[in-house]
Chains A and B, each alone.
Chain A
Amino acid sequence: MYFCTDFKDTVICSKMQRKTLVRLLSVLLFIGSFSAVAQDEHTEEAKEVLPGSKTKKEEIKEFINHHLMDSHDFNLFGSTDEETGETHHYGFPLPVIIWDEGLHTFMSSKFHHGENVVESSGNYYKLYHSKIYRTDAEGTINYDEKHHPTNVRPLDLSITKSVVMMLVTGLLLIWLFRSLAKSYAKNGSIPRGIGRFFEPIVLYIRDDIAIANIGENKYKKYMPFLLTVFFFIWFLNMFGLTPLGVNVTGNIAVTTALAILVFLITTFTGTKDYWKHIFDPLGDGMPWAGKILIYIILVPIEILGMFIKPFALLIRLYANMTAGHVVLMSLIGLIFIFKSWIGGPLSFGLSFAISLIELLVALLQAYIFTMLAALYFGFASETHAEHEAHEGEIQHL
């Protein structure tokens, strides 16, 4: 647009200018909305290590690792005093509950973010890399040759940041869907407000996930689980993308719990035909002598499959969410490594694009988890007659 020399060019240029202006404005808007996030990350990064002791790269790596882990207090952001090197944290403490030959409870503020040793009814505890270890009065932590602490880890049932987020999500879900349920009663079967957005999703889960995979007759019994798990995962994934920086669904314990529930439901609602499919997959189509040879291999595989299915669920969700967070935070971290006019916007643009993809992934992972859970429930609840009808569909996912 700087080459507008004659009249004809000027017309085109003015059009181009307008377009560029719109683009520029939208980019600025994005920067405006996200710079707050970036600043939080930056300040949190700084508090993680003593200034000057580590390179920026290590700092960022450590910060990402720290972010991926659960935390004992709800930190919103922190700042480091440039002169004294002191770190200030802004947030609120959460209760710590430890079972270590007796119940110990205190607020996480006593740890002072890992700086202090806490004494609770005769035992000493110290926070090290977001985990609580039993120590002596000085807070000494012994390491093995791989630099892993060898101190005893007591049974930690603290209300951590992730637990708080789960509670918040749970309450949000109850509030949202309770109001949707009420709006039906009030408006004569027509949803109102936010329910209008969620009702099609509920219907989609019913029609295209539950009924499609489980079948018209038996889907009803699984609906509450499928709906709850879908919205729970989706909402937690979305919370993970907010500047609060909670990574609940990227936590192996959370996905394990969900997968175990899927496994239990599959196992306990399994019909005779489901078990027959595991222990006698070939049925009556073969003489027993021939079957024995094949079953030596086939039956263990089928039994393994019972466990592999939910295991794949838990790893898929965990890995996807963790990977998303790592990529996103690394790209944000690049901004502070480059610190230049080219690298900064470039990594910002990249991280913005990845954020958009992550929004999709948040929904997609919730969908996939629900979909596969429904598929497994479908296998479990299948009876012989339906089984015949489904022959030819994907059987061994």
Chain B
Amino acid sequence: MEKLVNDFSFGLFFWQIIIFVLLLILLRKYAWKPILNAVNDREEGIKNALDSAEKAKLEMQNLQADNEKLLQEARSEREVMLKEAREIKAKMIADAKEEAKGEADKMVAQAQAAIESEKKSAIAELKQQVASLSLEIAEKVVKHELSDKDKQLKLVDEMLGDAKLN
């Protein structure tokens, strides 16, 4: 301890304090501050760059999600459109079928009506002809029958007999 005290040089202590404090002030101003600031700025820059990269990534993801969504929408829209088209097609075919059937029915009905009327007129004509034919026959028969007086009376009797049955 005595040696330590004896060795203590006040001059060296004095210069050490002066030099060190001076060095501290100079280095603080001209070295440490710029160095630490530069390092801080750099770290800040790196942090910001990382942040913005992260942000860009997120944005990219959002964009991709948007794209996906758009694609999905387009797909579903296409689906809907296809479905609609299919429906329209089906409807059109059905409609056409319906119409065709209606038309056919109508034609069939017309044809039937025509046939019916033809038939009626044919029957009427037939009736007429049959009537005239029977009249002719009856005329002829009557002519023939009336030529004989007995026969005429017999006929009248027969007819009267028939009338009773009625």
Contact = CB atoms under 8 A, between A and B. Distances in A.
Contacts of B12: 70, 160, 162-163, 251, 253-254
B36 A70 contact: no
Contacts of B45: 189
22 contacts: A157-B10, A159-B15, A160-B11, A163-B12, A163-B19, A166-B19, A178-B31, A180-B31, A180-B35, A181-B38, A203-B39, A224-B28, A225-B24, A227-B27, A227-B32, A228-B27, A232-B23, A251-B7, A252-B7, A253-B16, A257-B16, A260-B17
B106 to A, nearest CB: 93
A354 interface: no
B20 A177 contact: no
Contacts of A232: 20, 23
B11 A155 contact: yes
Contact of B11 (A156, A167, A180, A202): A156
A12 to B, nearest CB: 55
Interface in A170-202: 170, 173-174, 177-178, 180-182, 184-185, 189-190, 199, 202
B22 A170 contact: yes
A336 to B, nearest CB: 25
Contacts of B4: 252
A154 B55 CA distance: 72
B41 A206 contact: no
B20 A258 contact: yes
Nearest to A318: B4
B41 to A, nearest CB: 6
A163 B15 contact: yes
- 6 closest Cβ pairs, A-B complex: A177-B31, A184-B38, A181-B34, A224-B28, A257-B16, A189-B42
Given A202-B39, A258-B20, A261-B17, A181 B31 contact: yes
A69 interface: yes
Contacts of B19: 163, 166-167, 170
Given A70-B12, A254-B12, A173 B27 contact: yes
A256 B27 contact: no
Interface string A146-165: 00100000011111101100
A223 interface: yes
A69 B35 contact: no
A166 B13 contact: no
Contact of A228 (B10, B11, B23): B23
A155 B20 contact: no
Interface of B, helix, strand, loop or mixed by DSSP: helix
Given A163-B19, A189-B41, A174 B32 contact: no
A173 B32 CA distance: 11
Contacts of A167: 19
Given A206-B39, A251-B12, A256-B13, 20 more contacts: A156-B11, A157-B10, A160-B15, A163-B12, A170-B23, A173-B31, A177-B35, A178-B31, A180-B31, A181-B30, A182-B34, A189-B39, A202-B35, A203-B39, A224-B28, A227-B27, A228-B32, A253-B13, A256-B8, A261-B21
Which interface class (under 10, 10 to 19, 20 to 34, 35 or more) fits A? 35 or more
B15 to A, nearest CB: 4
A198 B48 CA distance: 25
Contact of B23 (A155, A174, A199, A256): A174
Contacts of A177: 27, 30-32, 35
Contact of A157 (B7, B15, B27): B15
Given A166-B16, A227-B32, A157 B11 contact: yes
A18 to B, nearest CB: 47
Contacts of A251: 7, 9, 12
A177 B33 CA distance: 10
Contacts of A156: 9-11
A256 B5 CA distance: 11
A155 B13 CA distance: 12
A16 B32 CA distance: 52
A96 to B, nearest CB: 10
A170 to B, nearest CB: 5
A203 B42 CA distance: 12
A20 to B, nearest CB: 47
B14 A228 contact: no
Contacts of A260: 17
Contact of B31 (A174, A189, A225): A174
A258 B12 CA distance: 12
Nearest to A202: B35
A181 B30 CA distance: 8
A70 B52 CA distance: 58
Nearest to A157: B11
A184 B35 contact: yes
Contacts of B6: 148
A257 B20 contact: yes
Contacts of A256: 8, 13
B26 interface: yes
A340 to B, nearest CB: 34
A202 B38 CA distance: 12
